[in-house]
Amino acid sequence: MKLYANIIIDISHEKLDKTFQYEVPEHLRDSLRIGMSVVVPFGNGGRRIKGYVIELTEEPEFDPARIKEIIKIDADGTRIESQLIVLAAWMRRTYGATMNQCLKTVIPIKHKTAVKERKILHLQLEESVAREQLLEYKRKRYTARERLLAALIENPALEYEVVTGKLNVSSSVIRTLEEQCVLTVERVRTYRNPVQGLTRKEPKITLNPMQQQAVEAIRQNAKMPEPKTCLIHGVTGSGKTEVYMELIADAIREGKQSIVLIPEIALTYQTVMRFYHRFGERVSILNSKMSAGERYDQFERAKNGELDVMIGPRSALFTPFPRLGYIIIDEEHESSYKSETMPRYHARETAIERAKLSGGIVVLGSATPAVESYYRAESGEYLLVELSQRVREKLLPTCYIEDLRKELAAHNYSILSRRLQGLMEERLLRGEQTMLFLNRRGMSGFVSCRSCGYVVKCPHCDVSLSAHNNGMLKCHYCGYEQPMVKTCPSCGSPYIGGFKAGTQKIELMVQKRFPNARILRMDMDTTRNKEGYEKILSAFANQEADILIGTQMIVKGHDFPNVTLVGVLAADLSLYTGDYRAAERTFQLVTQAAGRAGRGEKPGEAVIQTYQPEHYSVVAAAAQDYIAFYEQEMMYRKMLRYPPVWNMMVALAASSSEECAKAAAEAIVGLTEKDADEKLLLIGPTEPAVAKVSDIYRQVVYFKYDGYEYLTELRSRIEAFMENSPVFRDVMIQFDFNPMNGF
């Protein structure tokens, strides 16, 4: 059987689909691997060029007699591109997506405007010759040429932009004159640098003994032949960021570069400045607000050795650093580290794989580690590093759990419990600040009838419509819009409305209760743009307000030393999201919210309001006791065989025909029948949380198994089956492993 290699010649984002097939000669069969750079004959002349192997297959794409052979493996084929291609191949195997989707995820976008070029026009003619030419243009009424040449005679070097702009000369005219050797165009590459002119300050901080110990442990581990992934479990304010920076400094001394992943929402000016002050201009950032060109520039700078540190959200993981030191993942439990589009990769797992390929070390950090990370640390797979105290022995806040049912029974109809009101009053008198945190997970401004419970849904998607400020109801899945209803379509009752116990409504209620308080609100409406977000945070930091009300967004980022009270308005809302991570998410949110109190000199208090005061996630969060939560949660995960104890794969079948989707899901289940393995647990086929999107019906099957390999093997089997079943041609299949947010 012959072996063929699919090869990409031009490794840029747009050309990734364009592969060429070559035969693998006998003597390279054993050594050739995906990702390797090879030399191949190209075109009719058989010119020798380099390419990258992205796939190996036994199936020829065209007449085997006409397929040319690979000449040889490129000797310096250990470049960063090779590593990223290998990583893409791993992502394809692990998460199930096409090689192309995976390559597009790991290879930076080379955009037309990617590299900012300054173009300068230079006059190439002697002045006398130029003046003759000018007369010639005038005679022939080439007015644009005349304008340009006249300007060049006056000023022999002109900016391209000035010529096309102010002089209003088109680029084709410039090209003509270039071809006629009247002028030349000089191209000067300039890279956009998002941070400029920053001065570096030497760090004044000396690590405390606990931080020093953490750094030492990670350094020791780094010297091992097979260093482990490290997990720093440290409460907020225990000085994790200082530890990260110390490690990065180590790497720099060894000539290595590091990547710091931070959830986008926590990527605030304050955080980023700490890195700039320490490492100066050799730090860069990525964020989702950058254009493709700006992102590409930053990747180029990284590749060219201009940077030591890249900070950014999930996608920064693919920064093409030539010598990888550390990959640090801060707030590693955050769900934003999991991609919601194909390939549905998790940045943590992918970082570990990248480090394995390129010789880096992954350091995870969190006050509330993901259950699966702590599980791996406990089992010895990761190195566990504890930072158990806040820097400068600041105490954790005192927490109170308030039962909202008791408030109602006591005729308190306010959204603020009596205790919270009392404590807020104290703060106002003392000139201290309060943060009110609204847990909005699993509830997004839906409209329901208070008489009969009817919820207004999208006619195309199985989701509730969300009320918007402009009086419209909108579907977030397909964009469908309709005016707000005045009476219940089901029972006619007028008591129907936005169940938007949203931040806006809360602001009104709080203002009514505390008429003299200065209140700031932070939610999607007030933070449409990045500046809005930063503006509100800094206004609050400057104590321009007494109370800040917000959603998840206020949990991250800034330190507010004058905040001594945090109120969590409905801690248990995130318990109703209906997936196995609900308790974990609740614990994380409440712990992080409460942890915002008392980060300055004054001690803090937190009030956690809930309808489920006994729930272990709430109790453990109030006690700021991660281990207590972890143990309870693991008991439940073990019992129900959820990750990290077992692995879970979700297969989603989607089709415009409900019957087809169902039949496909049934057939998928049928594929496992022969396995007769008691270790395989099946749920479904069933409807996912959202059963219909844009008139496409969805069915899911959940597979639980104690190992990962069986599930990936099953996935390949399902893929092959679907490909070979003409009846299911219109059914689309997607997979997700150990899901975070589900389909």
Interface pick for Zn ion out of 16, 103, 266, 461 (rule CB under 5 A) = 461
Residue 499 contacts Zn ion per CB under 5 A? no
Which of the ranges 27-35, 207-215, 462-470, 502-510 carries the binding residues for ligand ADP, by CB under 6 A? 207-215
Residue pair 606/398 in contact by the 8 Å Cβ criterion? yes
Measure the N-to-C terminal CA separation of the chain; round to a whole number of Å. 41
Interface pick for Zn ion out of 304, 493, 656, 686 (rule CB under 5 A) = 493
The CA distances from residue 464 to 243, 453, 473, 693, in Å, are: 45, 13, 9, 12
What tokens were used for 698? Answer: 């969805």
Choosing among ligand ADP, Zn ion, none, which partner's interface includes residue 196 (Cβ < 5 to 8 Å by kind)?
none
Interface pick for ligand ADP out of 51, 96, 108, 234 (rule CB under 6 A) = 234
Residue 488 contacts Zn ion per CB under 5 A? yes
Choosing among ligand ADP, Zn ion, none, which partner's interface includes residue 358 (Cβ < 5 to 8 Å by kind)?
none
CB 652 to Zn ion: min, Å: 17
Burial pattern 108-147, b for ≥16 Cβ within 10 A else e, equals bebbeebbeeebbbebbbeeeebeebbeebeeeebebbbb
How many beta carbons lie within 10 A of that of residue 641, not counting itself? 16
Choosing among ligand ADP, Zn ion, none, which partner's interface includes residue 460 (Cβ < 5 to 8 Å by kind)?
Zn ion
How many residues form the binding site for ligand ADP (CB under 6 A)? Answer: 14
Q: Is 498 helix (H, G, I), strand (E, B) or coil?
A: strand
Residue pair 678/704 in contact by the 8 Å Cβ criterion? no
State the Cα–Cα distance between residues 600 and 431, nearest whole angstrom. Answer: 14
CB 232 to ligand ADP: min, Å: 8
Q: Between 434 and 453, how does the x/- string for binding to Zn ion read (CB under 5 A)? A: ---------------x-xx-
Q: Cβ closer to Zn ion: 447 or 575?
A: 447
Q: Cβ closer to Zn ion: 456 or 510?
A: 456
Residue pair 618/610 in contact by the 8 Å Cβ criterion? yes
**Pseudo-torsion of CA 367, 371, 373, 376, nearest 10°?**
130
Pick from 681, 685, 690: nearest CA to 661: 685
At 130, the amino acid letter reads A
Which of the ranges 341-349, 488-496, 561-569, 701-709 carries the binding residues for Zn ion, by CB under 5 A? 488-496
Characterize the bridge pairing of strands 183-190 and 157-159.
Answer: unpaired
Which of the ranges 421-429, 487-495, 618-626, 716-724 carries the binding residues for Zn ion, by CB under 5 A? 487-495
Choosing among Zn ion, ligand ADP, none, which partner's interface includes residue 241 (Cβ < 5 to 8 Å by kind)?
ligand ADP
Choosing among Zn ion, ligand ADP, none, which partner's interface includes residue 477 (Cβ < 5 to 8 Å by kind)?
Zn ion
CB 502 to Zn ion: min, Å: 21
At 491, the amino acid letter reads C
Q: Cβ closer to ligand ADP: 221 or 241?
A: 241
Which of the ranges 234-242, 306-314, 355-363, 401-409 carries the binding residues for ligand ADP, by CB under 6 A? 234-242
Within positions 297 to 336, which residues make up the interface with ligand ADP, using CB under 6 A? none
Only one residue has tokens 């640098």, namely 193
Interface pick for ligand ADP out of 211, 350, 368, 503 (rule CB under 6 A) = 211
Choosing among Zn ion, ligand ADP, none, which partner's interface includes residue 443 (Cβ < 5 to 8 Å by kind)?
none
Within positions 387 to 406, which residues make up the interface with ligand ADP, using CB under 6 A? 391
How many residues form the binding site for Zn ion (CB under 5 A)? Answer: 15
* DSSP label at residue 491: T
Choosing among Zn ion, ligand ADP, none, which partner's interface includes residue 238 (Cβ < 5 to 8 Å by kind)?
ligand ADP
Residue pair 382/364 in contact by the 8 Å Cβ criterion? yes
CB 483 to Zn ion: min, Å: 16
Choosing among Zn ion, ligand ADP, none, which partner's interface includes residue 488 (Cβ < 5 to 8 Å by kind)?
Zn ion
Cross-strand bridge partners of residue 704:
648, 681
Within positions 235 to 264, which residues make up the interface with ligand ADP, using CB under 6 A? 236-242
Q: Cβ closer to ligand ADP: 207 or 404?
A: 207
Q: Cβ closer to Zn ion: 190 or 493?
A: 493
Residue 205 contacts ligand ADP per CB under 6 A? yes
Cross-strand bridge partners of residue 474:
466, 481
Burial pattern 351-381, b for ≥16 Cβ within 10 A else e, equals bbbbbebbebbbbbbbbbbbbbbbbbbeeee
Alpha helical stretches, state H, 468-548: 503-513, 530-541
CB 441 to ligand ADP: min, Å: 22
CB 205 to ligand ADP: min, Å: 4
Residue 221 contacts ligand ADP per CB under 6 A? no
What tokens were used for 552? Answer: 């998840």
Interface pick for Zn ion out of 67, 73, 391, 478 (rule CB under 5 A) = 478
Q: Cβ closer to Zn ion: 169 or 467?
A: 467
Q: Cβ closer to Zn ion: 427 or 692?
A: 692
Q: Is 346 helix (H, G, I), strand (E, B) or coil?
A: strand
Q: Cβ closer to ligand ADP: 242 or 264?
A: 242
Residue 207 contacts ligand ADP per CB under 6 A? yes
- Rounded to 5, what percent of the chain is helix, strand, coil? 40, 25, 40
* DSSP label at residue 312: E
Residue 644 contacts ligand ADP per CB under 6 A? no
Across the beta sheet with 229-234, the strand order is 283-285, 309-312, 257-261, 324-330, 361-366, 229-234, 382-387
Residue pair 604/571 in contact by the 8 Å Cβ criterion? no
Residue 89 has phi, psi (to 5 degrees) of: -65, -40
Residue 595 contacts ligand ADP per CB under 6 A? no
List the helix and strand counts (H, then E) for the chain: 21, 31
Choosing among Zn ion, ligand ADP, none, which partner's interface includes residue 458 (Cβ < 5 to 8 Å by kind)?
Zn ion
Half-sphere exposure of 335 (CA within 13 A, CB side): 15
Rg (CA), the chain: 30
Q: Cβ closer to ligand ADP: 151 or 207?
A: 207
CB 208 to ligand ADP: min, Å: 4
Choosing among Zn ion, ligand ADP, none, which partner's interface includes residue 493 (Cβ < 5 to 8 Å by kind)?
Zn ion
Q: Cβ closer to ligand ADP: 205 or 491?
A: 205
Choosing among ligand ADP, Zn ion, none, which partner's interface includes residue 641 (Cβ < 5 to 8 Å by kind)?
none
CB 258 to ligand ADP: min, Å: 16
At 295, the amino acid letter reads R
Alpha helical stretches, state H, 379-522: 404-409, 418-430, 503-513
Residue pair 640/597 in contact by the 8 Å Cβ criterion? no
Residue 265 contacts ligand ADP per CB under 6 A? no
Interface pick for Zn ion out of 477, 499, 611, 636 (rule CB under 5 A) = 477
Cross-strand bridge partners of residue 710:
none
Residue 480 contacts Zn ion per CB under 5 A? yes
List strand residue ranges (DSSP E) for 388-480, in order: 398-403, 433-437, 447-449, 466-467, 472-474
State the Cα–Cα distance between residues 351 and 357, nearest whole angstrom. Answer: 10
The footprint of ligand ADP (CB under 6 A) covers 205-208, 211, 234, 236-242, 391
The footprint of Zn ion (CB under 5 A) covers 449, 451-452, 454, 458, 460-461, 475, 477-478, 480, 488, 490-491, 493
